[in-house]
Structure 1
Amino acid sequence: MKKASTRTVLLPHQHGISRVQQMGHYRYSAAKPGLENHFHQNSIEICYCIDGVQQYSVGSRIHYLRGGDILIIPANQTHSTGGMPEEKGELFWIQLQLGDRHGKLCHLPQEKTNLLLKHLQNASNAPFFGGLQLKELLMELFTLVKQDAKGLDSIRKEVVLLRLLLDTLELSQRRQEKEVSERIRAIDGFIEKNLHRSIYVDELADLTQVSTGYFKAWFKINMGNTPKEYINRKRIDLAKKRLQREISVTKVAYDLGFNSSQYFSTVFRKYTGKSPKEYIQEKTKAE
């Protein structure tokens, strides 16, 4: 059964936490319209990409978040999805207000509230890894908020948020450029050479000399997608380039290993929010 797409946005009167402007979560089974240019006045935004791949344009920079990546967007910084849709996958976000007039965060003294938010602001504007480690905290926080936690649960809600933010800060300070291992290079090279045909997980597991079961788990952790999702995303990225110069949707579909133009159109829409024909028309008008 196809999973339904969900999107939840929680505003201050719903979550009741000072300094938190907004909390949100989406889990999309197909692409949705992208974010236009906008900014959050005197608020930083922390995005936790749990599954899938998402493009963000922040100022003059383009970032690609994979499952497990975290991005902190600075206050007052214009950002969008850079003309791309909000893609198939799962993502949490939290917006935190700067400035004393917004009160204390989780009843911390004002000085410590400002110290924590200052460090988070300073860690902004480049992705770092660790989102999957924080998924349980994010889910617990959202559950407590949506249940309108009272009494001891209201204390637990604030403790969970503080732990989430402190763990986020710690992960940002461990920031390292993710090394592209020889294994990943070999996988990418094999996939890109064989996009014209069906690629089986068994082949990729054999290439890396591990069992299929181990490979699937390893791939999900390191690449943020299942092998099938990753391969389809590469096919669609290449399809977008080819559709700008190739009139026949059917030819592009078969050249990229799809067994029918109808299935190609279904997958294309899932990742872009448009049919191939709509995509061609949009690009033609732009020219």
Structure 2
Amino acid sequence: MKAEFEIIQPDEGSSFRVLYHKVPAGSSGDFRWSYHYHPEYEIVLVFQGEGRRHVGNHLSYYTEGDLVMIASDLPHSGFGYGAIGMHEEIVIQFKENFLGDGFIESREMASIKLLFERSKQGISFYGETYEQLSKSIKKLLELTPFERLVELLNILQNLAKSTEYILLNASDIRYNFSLKDQERLNKIYKFVEDNYRQEIDIQEVANLSNLTIPAFCNYFKKNANQTFTEFVNEYRINQACKMLLTGEDITDICFHCGFNNVSYFGRVFREFKGKSPSQFRRAFIDSFNQV
């Protein structure tokens, strides 16, 4: 899988760029769903919703929105890919020197400099950090260029101080990653996409990767930051979420998504989504009716 290079221009009268998108899931809009990279750092706020998070080698699914910071040259896909329902997001893109060469070395920027280092692995923020900074990021849409600049610094400082985050990749894999690894992982992801409805033989996936089963399990865990079983279950549950919105019978959805036991399906669904399939369906219908 080859990452595409994206050229980004700052907003007029500003040293960085702020984008707002609200589109039906899967709509092309005016931004990239494909795997791409750029020299700018990026902060992505996804409003309440469900979708796919693909940053570096990490592939997982967010629920109830997401707040992610991505370093320069770290490949990623658009966060609306695989989204359920309406996709709404704000994206902030800025270069490390957006306030001038050397500013990141000033003493006042010490914690933000460390944040920039952590973002080389991709960072997903949660909890109070997500709740509080969502409000700050939304404010950017209404501010003047100078006010935006001040607010962005506040946002960066608060992200830097937060302990409510997970690192999405095991190490710095910005665009110097192995093309061989990316091609291998793409084959694995594509295999799961094509075969998730049926039982997946891990030996077949290991053969696809030219690895033994133990070597494959270690390789996938190291590069994807989760076990292969966790990845497959998460993919199946995300597909089940989409089917739940169509009104299809939950038992049928269970088997269509590759599970062969309804109680196990319910347990795994709750593990990833925090609620049962029927609760998920009701919650989505209620939120849709409120729009």
Structure with the greater alpha carbon radius of gyration: 1
- TM normalised by structure 2 equals 0.46
- TM normalised by structure 1 equals 0.47
